[in-house]
Amino acid sequence: MKTLQVNIVTPDGPVLEAEANMVIATTEAGEIGVLPGHVAMVAPLQIGALRVQIDNETKLIAVHGGFIEVRPDVVTVLAASAEKAETIDLARAKIAEKRAKAILEVEKNAKELALAELELKRAINRIRVGEGNF
Ligand code: ATP
């Protein structure tokens, strides 16, 4: 069976390097499924889960923005942060969720509100991916 080389890279280093059968990602324009031989493209990603199918197993990776670049046999994801489900610290994500919600309740500054919205989205994403709710 044909495979795709999948590389997920962040400023902290590589998060995943694997040969996969399929990748499902949530771009700003919606969900895309990438199989080997896919047409080349680049798309911005939403905060969401990347699903990487390796043999009969689907690996979930929390991805926080960034880009996906697809070539027929390589998928590269560049993101500010990304974590495999099994490396997510759920307690930390729940603290981050509470902190963001507390800021959203009292903050008036538009920029601070926007930052807190993003922090909340990252925290909720980590909790969902860490708990396998995708
Ligand atoms: P926090 O407020 O908990 O730091 P954050 O959303 O501000 O969360 P980021 O700036 O997205 O964190 O990431 C900073 C670094 O910490 C990255 O390397 C990211 O992978 C890691 N990270 C953040 N939260 C978690 C978590 N809950 N579990 C594992 N790694 C995490």
Ligand 1 nearest atom to the CA of residue 83, by list position: 20
Q: Are residues 97 and 78 in the same domain?
A: no
Conformational region of residue 30, where left means phi above 0, alpha means psi within -120 to 50, and beta covers everything else? left
Domain count, the chain: 2
CATH number for position 122: 1.20.5
Q: Which domain holds residue 108?
A: 90-131
Ligand 1 nearest atom to the CA of residue 99, by list position: 2
Mean pLDDT, rounded, of the chain: 96
Q: Is 45 helix (H, G, I), strand (E, B) or coil?
A: strand
Strands (E), 45-129: 48-54, 57-64, 67-71, 74-78, 81-84
Q: Are residues 77 and 111 in the same domain?
A: no
- Percentage of the chain surpassing pLDDT 70? 100
Query: CB of 15 closer than 6 A to ligand 1?
Result: no
Residues recorded for the chain: 134
- Cα dihedral across residues 37, 38, 41, 47: positive or negative: negative
CATH number for position 65: 2.60.15.10
Centre of ligand 1 from the C-alpha of residue 13, in Å = 14
Span 69-74, average pLDDT: 96
Q: Are residues 17 and 39 in the same domain?
A: yes
Q: At residue 65, does pLDDT exceed 90? A: no
Q: Are residues 74 and 111 in the same domain?
A: no
- Global pTM reads 0.95
- Convert the pLDDT of each residue in 4-47 to its tens digit: 999 999 999 999 999 999 999 999 999 999 999 999 999 999 99
What pLDDT does 134 receive? 75
